[in-house]
Chains A and B, each alone.
Chain A
């Protein structure tokens, strides 16, 4: 027994050495974004004068053929390589930190708070929640003209509008950006959350619940198109039927202490996003843009359907401008999250929009030969009766 035990001890030791080898072996090259080990030290010195070595942008990522691809303009920036080259000339490395579509908001907030990331393109709600929680971030560019939200009812339900759903059950993921759109829809129809049985489910669970007939309706973003295509439900309303400023908006958010310390680099980053927006806005690139977008969650035809809104031309979909519309939207969000007790501090819209870098970037790029003068114009509201 003792001999055996000893031999066995050796075997365990050998097994663990192998485990150690597996654990310590350097990870194979990550395809797009090398994930270097985040340092546990919380605060990277961001004070003016401290040399900047790495610039970190967080972006929603999805797996695609064994690689990480990033959503929207970030992927284009990576593929264009312009920003990386410009930064390299200044001795700065570019790092893209992938975050999950499901918990992107909180993850980006945590990254901003720990000063682990410098920029991130993400939704209105989580950004303002972080802002109210004392994380000083500002939006420096609008990565597009908003995402659509959809109301889907289950198969076999005759409802035609939100009013017909009174007393029925609706699944919505609370605390996510489209909650505001939902609130606006209810408000416009003289309804409140108490008129329904609300289930707090994430979009995937909401889809399953609707498909199984366990809820009468769900309110989500473009995933709704998949639900409809699979025959599990029917879309009865979307933000295409509502005023433009009801759409969920995103921003390219930046840490304020970073932009203060490195205004030139900030302008460079904003310029890269403007370049990407300009590329996307070209009619001849439409197919490629749709194809890239479909590497996320939706097939190309559904992306095209989601993008299709007669009020917003192809070019304007990608307008980076921080116009009056944008301000109005964020003012509404700030009001909503404060009035509903989601945050304790009222965020002032002047404190969250910083358009200096966009102006500088547009000027620089125009001077560099890109025809951006008056290319995009501030959006104007078009009359649509709220349904």
Chain B
């Protein structure tokens, strides 16, 4: 085989195997079978294209070939399990499936696959790895490393997800208009969780984890391309704005640098500009939600030269909207910090103390560290110290623990 052909096939594989898989998954209703058929189709392509050359529409060729490979595989398997009438019916369906695929159909199949992998009937802890594996094409080994579990455990989760799709017949379709908002919400939350896994990088696998952030951004771009919804835009904006601070978030010792101390010249202006534009577009649609508001808050920071020059009144106003859309103790805590920046530390302390009284945030280290900071600013270093020590006892990631220790050590006790 010529070197150039194999390189070209490799390039097609990298770029398009996800599309081939997504369409085959829809046709076959079975991701395992679709994966096998995709591999077979590429192997066949290497042989066939050697003599006949690369076809005009290689993706369509691969899908069509994969389809017949899958039918062969079903026939072969059936000798072992025998499900005759159902099986014949299925094979007919696959054969009769529309032979001409438009560019749009193929694109939509990727979207359908995302919705299938994030179907609420699949265990939430399985949705994320399944999406990374089947939609993003990450290897099981890499996913396992990023989530710090053994490869075998991760492989099991993915197998479980694929089996559920097959046996319960979870469809590969776009949700209907009535259930779209609810279904989109679960897709967006999967994307955001993938991003956060990467963003809160903490251990030796930091490089792999930052890949996850990139993957989440890529996924959101694909999603936006296929489904231009304000919240998809909002989520992409939010992730881009967070990502823009990546270089400033940690110092050379891998210690956390807080927003007020970050060197803002390190912020990535290109990502910020893209994020700002997306936020404006989403806000203008007036159909925005949770992600867009968070992105808007992030945008206010991105546009400010320093913490002092930040428009805290605007941020508090945005939190007031956010607490109505998505009330949660964490939103209340973040709002309390913004209120403190606007009205002074006593106002913030009162709000956090109220929150802690309701007990919901009692085990959340950031509630205690915020409290410690307010007390320090109020000239009560002893009280600040015990609040920060409480936070330290609750913090689980080493960079956060180091940050808290530094803050405790820098207190000037009377």
- Co-assembled chains A and B: no
